[in-house]
Amino acid sequence: MSISYVAHSANPLRETQRRVDFLKRVRPEWFGGVLAVSDARKAGKFDRRVAFAFGIDSRCQFSLHVLNKDWLDTVREAIEYVYEVFGTEDLVVTFETDAIRPPLRAYAPMSID
């Protein structure tokens, strides 16, 4: 059984991918080590409905797949960092598409320039 998360982003595709690339670049031990991270892709109708139910008008999304279940404590930290990079107004992370994985607190989008 795999454990996967879906990050639903209100940002345009290019900005979302820029932030995904940032995650991989600055924390490769998390985003490439603990979690396999997909490239951003345009959200389909179903995905947009799921994200909207969780409070985000999603334009695109990316997936995060847990590579080793022994690292679940680290996964929590890594998902929180995703919220820090994207900001909580522009992103919601769901466990698959079933339940929200809420942030511990609100974050403004991180400056990544």
Between CA 42 and CA 13 the distance in angstroms is 7
pTM of the model: 0.93
Determine the topology of domain 4-100 in CATH. Answer: Alpha-Beta Plaits (3.30.70)
Long-range contacts of 31-34 (CB under 8 A, 24+ apart): 31/64, 31/78, 33/67, 34/66, 34/67, 34/68, 34/71, 34/74, 34/75, 34/78
10 Å Cβ neighbour count for 104?
11
6-52 residue pLDDT tens: 999 999 999 999 999 999 999 999 999 999 999 999 999 998 998 99
Between CA 35 and CA 1 the distance in angstroms is 15
57-95 residue pLDDT tens: 999 999 999 998 888 889 999 999 999 999 999 999 998
pLDDT of residue 63: 96
Between CA 111 and CA 113 the distance in angstroms is 6
- Model confidence at 113, pLDDT cuts 50, 70, 90, reads confident
User: In the beta sheet, which residues pair with residue 6?
Assistant: 63, 94
Closest by CA position to 50, among listed 99, 108, 101: 99
